[in-house]
Amino acid sequence: MSVVQQETTVMANSSTASATSRAAKLMKRRSRIRFYEIIIWVVAIAAYFVLPSKMLILTEIAILALFAVSLDLVLGFAGIVSLGHTAFFGLGAYIAGLMALHYVAEPVTGLIVAGIAAGVLGLFTSFLILRGSDLTRLMTTLGIGLMMAEVANQMAWLTGGADGLSGFLPGPILGLFEFDLFGKTGYIYCLVVLFVGTMIMRRIAFSPFGMSLKAIKGNAMRAGMIAVPARKRIVIAYTIAAVFAGMAGALLTQTTSFVSPDVLAFHRSADVLLVLVIGGTGYLYGGIFGAILFTLVKDWLSVITPQYWMFYIGLLLVILVLIGRDRLARWVEYLPERFSKKEDGR
């Protein structure tokens, strides 16, 4: 090998190493815990002590937030629009109820089994969304959700049909913590699951895998040209999202000791999409912020105007669209720089 070739090889290796080092530093900055994230979890814990009479609505927020964050993993990062995410939520809810009724009353066991069952359903249905446009995916996922709802309604011998599944009580969490009448244990349980689930999905989203999902969302064909296996990544992301959606459904069953076909209703898919419209997509915490605002506004409106609260929710959606969802989703940029550093490190 000539001297020129050796020098060229050394320069190429040096350039590759430099690029790899810069990429590693960028990934580290992107995955850094932001100040506002710490505030969110501190406030959530403080709510347990400050709002002891609001445990039920806080629990509802935590469950909806986990459901929304799971959808954001495929919508905000992979760009997969779904109207059938409630299929995984509902399956997890029914699995948790059946586990408590017939097999194991311990909630964490039921939670894990529900997540696995929803993940299996997500894996098998993920292949149906690999082809076609966004409209095709919308109709396909909607069809899956509607079929699941009808199956639950027809299999009354197993699911209780339209009357729902009841007659079970979750046991102590890990055999140690009993559910109480005021919902305090249920809230802490849901908050812990939300925190763990969000941290896992956050780690996935801000890893090279998550960045490849962003590339697929931007242009799947171009991503394939740089050796990103778009179909495989979408299947994996969709399956992971299904797991956490199923866990959210299981939490609802375990904290209410009841499950009905309502968990598979279309309005749940519509609600979770609205939550992401409110909170923003592509950074996971939009699901949490959206769940807080959506639940509180819905609760407030249903008290002051029980007949027309849905009208005002729709009006809020129209206003948000007119203002611009992207503008609202970039609210973090308005925080002081020491609280929210730019992702590129500038």
pLDDT tens per residue across span 276-330: 888 888 888 889 999 999 999 888 888 888 777 778 878 877 777 777 655 555 5
Q: Which helix (H) or strand (E) holds 58?
A: helix 55-72
The answer to whether residue 56 scores a pLDDT higher than 80 is yes
- Cα–Cα distance measured from residue 241 to residue 253, given in angstroms and rounded to the nearest whole number: 19
Q: What CATH number has the domain spanning 36-334?
A: 1.10.3470
d(CA 136, CA 236): 20
| Segment holding 131, helix H or strand E | none
**DSSP helix/strand/coil, 249:** helix
At residue 10, the pLDDT reads 47
pLDDT (mean) for 164-191? 88
Question: Which residue, among 180, 170, 164, has the nearest Cα to 251 in the 3D structure?
Answer: 170
- What does the pLDDT read at residue 340? 47
Most confident of 72-76, 127-131, 187-191, 203-207: 187-191
Residues 177 and 170: beta-carbon distance below 8 Å: no
Instruction: List pLDDT tens digits, range 153-165.
Output: 888 888 888 888 8
Nearest alpha carbon to residue 81 among 217, 249, 259, 186: 217
What pLDDT score does 346 carry?
37
> What was the pLDDT predicted at 282?
81
**Domain positions in the chain:** 36-334
Both tokens assigned to 111: 């939670």
Confidence of residue 244 (pLDDT cuts 50, 70, 90): very high
Q: Does pLDDT of 50 surpass 60?
A: yes
Residue 195 · residue 292 · CB < 8 Å: no
> In whole angstroms, what is the distance from residue 336 CA to residue 346 CA?
14
What value does the mean pLDDT of the chain take?
A: 82
pTM metric for this prediction? 0.86
Helix axes 285-304, 266-279, angle to 10 degrees: 110
Query: By three-state DSSP, how is residue 176 classified?
Result: coil
So what's the pLDDT on residue 225? 74
Which residues pair with residue 173 across a beta bridge?
177
Ranking 172-176, 251-255, 304-308 by mean pLDDT, the lowest is 304-308
Using only the alpha carbons of the chain, give its radius of gyration: 22
Specify which of 28-37, 268-277, 302-311 reaches the highest per-range mean pLDDT: 268-277
> What is the per-residue pLDDT across 59-75, written as a single tens digit (0 to 9) for each?
999 999 999 999 999 99
208 vs 227: CA distance, rounded Å: 13
Write down the pLDDT at residue 341: 47
Helix axes 230-256, 208-218, angle to 10 degrees: 110
Structure tokens at 306: 């029980």
Q: What is the pLDDT of residue 176?
A: 84
Of the two residues 259 and 345, the one the predictor is more confident about is 259
What are the Cα distances from residue 263, in Å, to 29, 93, 238, 269, 271?
Answer: 39, 7, 20, 10, 12
